[in-house]
Structure formats: C-alpha cells, structure tokens
Amino acid sequence: MTCAVECARRMGLLLAMLLAMLPVTVSGQLPAVLGDGEPMPSLAPMMEQVTPTVVNIATFTNVEVRNPLFDDPFFRRFFDLPSMEQRYRRTRSAGSGVIVDGSRGFILTNDHVVSRADEITVTLADGRSLEATLVGADAQVDLAVLRVDPEELAAEAPPVTARFGDSATLRVGDFVVAIGNPFGLGQTVTSGIISAIGRSGLGVEGYEDFIQTDASINPGNSGGALVNLRGELVGINTAIIAPAGGNVGIGFAIPANMAQVIMGELIAHGEVRRGHLGLQVQGLNVELARAFGIDLREGVVVTAVDVSSPAASAGFQPGDVIVRLGERRVRTATDFRARAAVIMVGDELEIEFARDGARQVVAVAVPEDQFERVAGARLHPRLEGTVLQNHRGGPERDVAAGVRLLDVSEGSRAWRNGLRADDIIVAVNQRTSRNLSDLTQGIKLDQRNPVIRIWREGQFYVVRLR
C-alpha cells in the first residue's frame, strides 16, 4: 500500500510539472486548441529579417600536384624523361559569412574559410552569386573580412546588414539560433542555448574566448551567424568538437564584441594592429594570494614587466594583481588574454589592480609604435625561445614589413636552428609574412617542415626549422 501511495504521489508531481510547462493565457487558463486563424508560435518572422544577411561562401584553390619521382634527376635520366611542367588540381570548399555593412559590401567570415583561396564566390540568400575579394584577415582570432561590389549587392534589392548585439550580456541558458551552410547543403537554421561562455584552452586559435552552444554547428557553418531571439548577431560560428565528424552538441562561436573590434581594424588598415601592454601574467591561486598577503581569489598576477613598455611607463611591478582591464573584469588568465586580443595601437584603457592590499586604478595608453608581441612557441614548437613582434621598416632602413625576432634565448631550439635577435622573417613556406597573422597562416601550410626566409644585416637567408 505504501508503494502504491508513493507512486501515485510521484505521478501527480510529474503531471503538475508537465502542466506547468504548457503555455497559459493572460487569464491564467490553459488555452484551447489553436484555431485556424490563430498564429502558431514561431521564429519565422525574426528569421525572415536575419537570413538575408547570411551568405554562402565557395572558395577555389589551385593546388600543385607533383609526383615525387619526377623530382629525382636520377629517375628522369634513367627513363630519359623530359623535365615535367607543374600541374595543378582545382579544389573547392564551402563556408558561410555575414553581411556586416551592406552599403559598402563588407562580409565577415572565418579566416580558415578563405585562407589560401585563389577565388572567392559569395552566394546570397536570393540565389545570386558575386565575386568577392579579401580585405584582410587575422589568423590569431580566425576572422576575415571580404568585400563584394556594393552596387551588385544592391542590384535587385536594398542591401541588408546584420545588427550586432552585445555579447557581453549573454548568459548560460539564453536561446540562440545558428545560421550557415552545413555540408554545402545551402542555408540552414538550427536552434539551441548558450552552454558556456569564455571557453578557452581548445588549441584552435591564438586568442580564445569562445561562446559554447548546443545549436547544431557542422562543417560548412564556419563563418555563419549566431543570433539571439531578437535577431541580433552575438557570435560568428567557428569551431566544433566532432569526434565522429559531425555535430555532437558542442559548438563554438567568436563573441560579437571581439568580432566588431577585429572587423574595424581589418576594414581600416587591412590588418590587425594589436597593442602591446608589456605585461606577463599568470592566474591567481590560493597559494599566490597567501604569499602576497591579499584576500583576492580572482585576478591575474603580474610576473614580469617589459622594459620601455606602456605598462612600465604606468608603474606596474611584478606582484601586482590585475582585476579589471577597461570595462571587463579579469578573473583568470583567459580573461586577460581575451581582453588583450582587442587592445589596439592608439587605445587608452583603465587598469584596476591591487598592490599591498590596496586597490589602484591607472590609465595606460598604447602608443602607435607599440605592436603586438608573442612568444614564438605559440606559433610553432620549433620557434621556442623567441619573442616575435610585427615590424615596420622603411625604404631607408631594412625591409618594409615582416616579423622581427626581438629575442632568441641562447641554447633554445630556435637558436640551434640559426635564428638570432633582430632577424626579420619576411616569408615562410614561400608565402610572404608581412605580420604575425601572415606568419601564422604560412606555417599552417607545412607544419612539419617550415622553411622561413629572413633578412639579416642587409642580406636574405633561408632557414629550415628542424
């Protein structure tokens, strides 16, 4: 009898929960079956406004096809073969993009969607296809900006532009919709929720601050839109975890706030001119907090301050605990790196930190001559021991642009490969490297045997990284 009573009680609770999930009218009563004239609940009205801003992107690349036997002079002489002409195979790949400025023809997508492409074709929601050119790309964040002829874009209808939302206000559990071109099928819409924010440590890009969602994101969705229920763009779909090659409910998007800053730099300058604060940090933990005699449990500890950097000029010292960069709270080293990704030359921001138990706020300006610096090991293990920085020269001094080796640790792997401080990397794997973004992308062409071209004391040299 007791079991029967308990079962009945549980069934009653389950029925009450199901009833509570049903929609109710203003009067609080359960609605009757919808009549023929009543509209069904739907996202269709919002999607009708948003989907025209999402485009399909097709890229075409000419890949050299060679038989390694024909590269062997002995083999050619033995069989009396003439020297072989280069042959190419045309490859095609698909992705997605978002129209972010219809009046000027700008489209935002992922860098990996268009990198190495010889031709780029954009297909609009109405079926028209337009040729696109690359304005600029940033491999560190995996974003790129394309441009189509704005007159062609507006030929049949006024151009549409995505409305940006504030990705900083997203919360876990918010509903979102992903729009893209999965598997090259054409424009597809999937829905889900925000599963997590501030995701990092995926090893996908140099700067990671991803939105995680369970809205289905599959190959081909890259570069597409992640929008909220108001139709505002809150993210650019960029990566998935796919053990079996398809969606498993774990997708990642670049936050819209970060994308806007990177997009503005690419449109204005054709590249991202990141500023360099000159701070090396690590996450705060209980042991460090106890060692410094502070009661903070969130923040990052300054471990080193570069000489002649903006941070040094502002008076930062090792042991300072940073808790805010600009308007963003800094809880972890990931937060710090994500904010550093959108600090550009010419910016000025407030930094809040703790020293000797007291909070302080200082304003730090990033001058025009301070460019982003990165540890070479972040780009490739064989560059371990180097510190790299974007280089700007001039006609009267060395090369016009490249990546300068600010420091090479003696005895490091890079040192053993023959690299030295003040070398300027101008190409990698036969691809020009005007900046860190170009260098990163060039290394991806051949991760196993990267070959770099450097400028040193008035001469060019070629170095194979071993």
Sign of CA dihedral 172, 175, 179, 182: positive
Active site residue 380: no
Question: Distance of CA 369 to CAs 137, 281, 388, 390, Å?
Answer: 21, 22, 15, 10
Q: Which of 222, 309, 412, 433 is catalytic?
A: 222
Give the Cβ contact number of residue 92 at 10 Å: 12
Active site residue 222: yes
Strands 321-325 and 348-355: antiparallel
Active site residue 83: no
Give the Cβ contact number of residue 247 at 10 Å: 20
- What would the DSSP string read from start to end of 313-380? HTT--TT-EEEEETTEE--SHHHHHHHHTT-BTT-EEEEEEEETTEEEEEEEE--TT---EEEGGGT-
Q: How far is CA 433 from the centre of its chain?
A: 19
Q: Which of 93, 96, 111, 112 is catalytic?
A: 112
Task: Please list, residue by residue across 48-84, b when 16 or more beta carbons sit within 10 angstroms of its beta carbon and e when fewer do.
Answer: eebbbbbbbbbbebeeeeeeeeeeeeeeeeeeeeeee
Q: Which of 111, 138, 142, 209 is catalytic?
A: 142
Residues that are catalytic: 112, 142, 222
